[in-house]
Amino acid sequence: MEPPRGRSWNYGWVVVGAFLAIDSLVWGVTFSLGIMIPLMSGDLGMSLRQSGWLGSINWMVPAILSIPAASWLGRYSPKKLITIAAVFEVPLLFAQGWAPDYWVLMLSRIAFMAIGLARFPARPLLIQQWFPLEKVNMVNSVVTVGMGAAGAIAVFFMGDIMDALNGWRNAFYLFGSIQALILLIWVIVGRENPATASEMRRDEASTLSSIKPFLKSRILWLLGIGVAGDMLCFGAMETLWPQYAVPEGIISIERASYVLGISYWGFTIGCLLGGVISQKIGRRKPLIWAPGIFLPFLTLGILFSHSYHMIALLWALWGLSEMYFPIIMTIPYELPGVKPHQVAVATAFMIAVFTAGGAMGPIIAGHIADAFGSLKLALGITCAFPFLLVIAGLLIPETGPAAHAKAGADSSI
* 214: Cβ contacts below 8 Å, ≥ 6 apart: 220, 335, 338, 342, 345, 346, 349
Rg (CA), the chain: 21
Whether pLDDT at 275 is above 80: no
Amino acid at 241: W
Whether pLDDT at 108 is above 50: yes
How does residue 408 score in pLDDT terms, banded at 50, 70 and 90? low
Mean pLDDT for 148-176 is: 85
User: Mind listing the pLDDT tens digit for each residue in 358-383?
Assistant: 888 888 888 888 888 888 999 999 99
Mean pLDDT for 84-94 is: 92
Whether pLDDT at 130 is above 90: no
Ordered by start, the domain boundaries in the chain are 9-190+202-398
CATH architecture of 9-190+202-398: Up-down Bundle (1.20)
pLDDT at 196: 61
In this predicted model, which residue has the larger pLDDT, 23 or 90? 90
In this predicted model, which residue has the larger pLDDT, 207 or 221? 221
How does residue 403 score in pLDDT terms, banded at 50, 70 and 90? low
Instruction: Output helix, strand, coil percentages for the chain, rounded to the nearest 5.
Output: 85, 0, 15
Q: Which of 139, 19, 4, 27 is closest to 79 using CA atoms?
A: 19
User: Mind listing the pLDDT tens digit for each residue in 319-357?
Assistant: 898 888 878 878 877 777 666 667 767 777 777 777 788
Mean pLDDT score across all residues of the chain: 81
pLDDT at 120: 76
pLDDT at 178: 92
DSSP character at residue 132: -
pLDDT at 202: 47
Asked if residue 137 lies in contact with residue 145, where contact means CB atoms within 8 angstroms, the answer is no
pLDDT at 327: 84
Asked if residue 189 lies in contact with residue 18, where contact means CB atoms within 8 angstroms, the answer is yes
How does residue 145 score in pLDDT terms, banded at 50, 70 and 90? confident
How does residue 402 score in pLDDT terms, banded at 50, 70 and 90? low
